[in-house]
A and B are shown apart, each in its own frame.
Chain A
Amino acid sequence: MNANAITAAALPKAPAGPARLRWLAADAWVLAKRQFAHIRQIPEKLFDVTLQPVMFVLLFAYVFGGVIHVPGGGDYHEYLIGGILVQTLAFGMMGPGVSLATDLGEGIIDRFSSLPMSRPAYLIGHLTAEFSATLLAIAIMVGSGLIVGWGINSTALEALACFGLIFLIAITSIMLGTMVGVIARSPDAVQGIAFVAVFPLTFVANTFVPVGGLPDGLRQVAEYNPISAWAAAIRTLFGNPTAIPDGAAWPLEHPVVASLAWCAVILAVVVPVALRAYRKRTTG
């Protein structure tokens, strides 16, 4: 082997104290860029958060929209977008789950773990990339909503709060996907679990149709479904029709508080479980 410029002795030494955060940020960014490189190679990876919601907007706005009536008045297109936003965020758990399960099933995670990089950088880089993908999805949703006649009818402050809530829901969903990805045995398993969990949850809810029209039993499930609380909160904060029936369950009467509570509860469970499982799988 020829005389190399780089030797282990010449490697930059780990900084002490707060400067370590700079290393963490730099390492996380290197790993986030890896995820972006994957998207460049397989753009289909983004379909579930880009084309799929647009497809749902078009389907419900123009195919079912004509027969779905919003009680209490209001335009269905205005009603619809809050629901599809939440559905998109919920399906956003699939991406992080699948890519984590893929990495953990292969040797590349061993490579990363054997490098002197910051320990949390892998997960943080991963979450950064996933959150960026979600931002793109939100932008696409808002854009397609505006095209089909949806709009923000609230104050700037309320609208800002609404985007804050949307980001929080996005993070909750990404963390949920992260947990599933770390625990699941394979990427296919993640896809299966996510689909079976998210699909019925987004339909037995006020996502596409107001809960008032649901039969007893289903209606109660829908009323306490976090998806319903999130969709109702987004509609409330954007000033869109909510179609919450009189005498609805508490979470729908107080959708914003209920939404925050749901996010807090889910994160409180999911984050420690995901981190523990991740540690166990990478350094067990």
Chain B
Amino acid sequence: MNRDIQTSHAVVAEGLGKRYGEQWALRDFRLAVPTGSVLGLLGHNGAGKTTAIRILTTLASPTEGTAKVAGHDVVAEPDRVREQIGLTSQAATVDGLMSGAANLEMIGRLYHLPRKVARARAAELLAELQLEDAGDRLVRDYSGGMRRRLDLAASLLASPPVLFLDEPTTGLDPESRNELWDLLRRLVGGGTTLILTTQYLEEADQLADDVVLLDRGKIVATGSPVQLKARHGGERVVVTVAADADLGPAAEALEKVAAGAAEIDREGLFVAAPASESTRLIEVVRALEDGGVDAHDVRRREATLDDVFFSLTSPRGRAASPQSTTDTDQDTDREEATA
């Protein structure tokens, strides 16, 4: 990599790979994140997002390849890298048995700030993240949203120029999610480079300048969210049916009017197919009626990560799912990464 890319880019990775036993959790991973921009790492659980973050934040050593963060090599100069980064990982990275203020002060002390400075900075961050009233309470009594904010406060303690967030909004209610997005936008406005992983295309849409789509440890697409969706997603027509027996006929009917093949989801009892500008819902409804399908719901929606994924990674006929993800298995990525 040349000198220019090192100074203009906060994060640069080349040919990064991580193998656990026989399994490559990440392979041929390359990245160049311009300073001050937002990169979204998208992928399902086990796609390698967390592994990538762990290598870039010096928590895991790469099996092959190199990476520089803020100009420092993650393997050769991990301490220099650690001075420049903040990390919020998926699991709680704060201590439940200490107060929010004590947590932040402890982390400030571990950045070797003098006690007074650490305490003042803790108070400042608590106020900034609307936690000042909860500062003296034990973190185990915090709500999920409050704990996430404290996690973030801990990551921001030394105002790091490069911030890594591993699924920062998973499990948050929409209001807290919007608040967090606003805060992240403010940070980026102040020049912070942000690398975040997410399973939600909407989140990438809202925040990311560029997106890297990962599937089973490999990059399958890169580009801006708009480019990605235009290239691989587009709009979908979704038909929800009453019974399993209706799925087949519904798919058949849908394919007559939709712009492409229909995918069947047996669990969610729905079929989905790509929609073009000229696809009209009324035609879908007619086709369903002609086919004698008992449809509960017919709607158009924006492409989701799943839809993009479907077109990029999966053989035809794989089941789609109604949401892009489930929250219950959010930790499997990490478990695979640490196994």
Give the interface size bracket for B toward A. Answer: 35 or more
Query: What residues of chain A lie closer than 8 Å to B160, measured between beta carbons?
Result: 8
0/1 string, A150-169, CB within 8 A of B gives 1: 00000000000000000000
Chain B residues with CB below 8 A from A113, complex form: 58-59
> Contacts of A27 on B, CB cut-off 8 Å?
109-110, 112
Question: In chain A between 111 and 152, which residues have their CB closer than 8 angstroms to a CB of chain B?
Answer: 111-117, 121
> How many of chain A's residues touch chain B, expressed as a range?
35 or more
> Given A6-B113, A12-B112, A34-B106, are A111 and B97 neighbors across the interface (CB < 8 Å)?
no
Q: How far is the CB of A119 from chain B (nearest CB, A)?
A: 9
- Which of A37-45, A72-80, A172-180, A228-236 interfaces with chain B? A37-45
Which of B95, B157, B187 has the most C-beta atoms of chain A within 10 angstroms of its own C-beta? Answer: B95
Residue of A nearest to B161 (CB): A8
The 8 Å CB contact of B83, one of A34, A106, A116, is A116
Q: How many A-B residue pairs lie within 8 Å, measured between CB atoms?
A: 118
Q: Does B333 contact A (CB under 8 A)?
A: no
A27 CA to B93 CA, complexed, in Å? 18
Closest to B118 in A: A6
* Whole-angstrom CA separation of A106 from B90 in the bound complex: 10
Question: In the complex, which of the residues B107, B113, B128, B157 contacts A1, with contact meaning CB atoms closer than 8 Å?
Answer: B128
| CB-CB nearest in chain B for A105 | B91
Q: Are A41 and B138 in contact (CB under 8 A)?
A: yes
**Contact partners of A284 in chain B: CB under 8 A:** 20, 60-61, 338
Q: Flag whether B94 is at the interface (Cβ < 8 A).
A: yes
B9 at the A interface (CB under 8 A): no
In the assembled complex, the Cα of A24 lies from the Cα of B79 at a distance in Å of 14
Contact of B110 among A38, A117, A283 (CB under 8 A): A117
Which of B82, B92, B102, B110 lies at the interface centre, i.e. has the most chain A CB atoms within 10 A of its CB? B110
Minimum C-beta distance from A85 to chain B (A): 30
Contact of B59 among A8, A14, A33, A283 (CB under 8 A): A283
B residues whose Cβ falls under 8 Å from a Cβ of A = 20, 54, 57-61, 79, 82-87, 89-95, 97-98, 102, 106-107, 109-113, 117, 120-121, 124, 128, 138, 154, 156-161, 186-187, 189-190, 192, 338
* Interfacial residues, chain A to chain B (CB-CB below 8 A): 1-2, 4-8, 11-12, 14, 23, 26-27, 30-31, 33-34, 37-38, 41-42, 106-108, 110-117, 121, 281-284
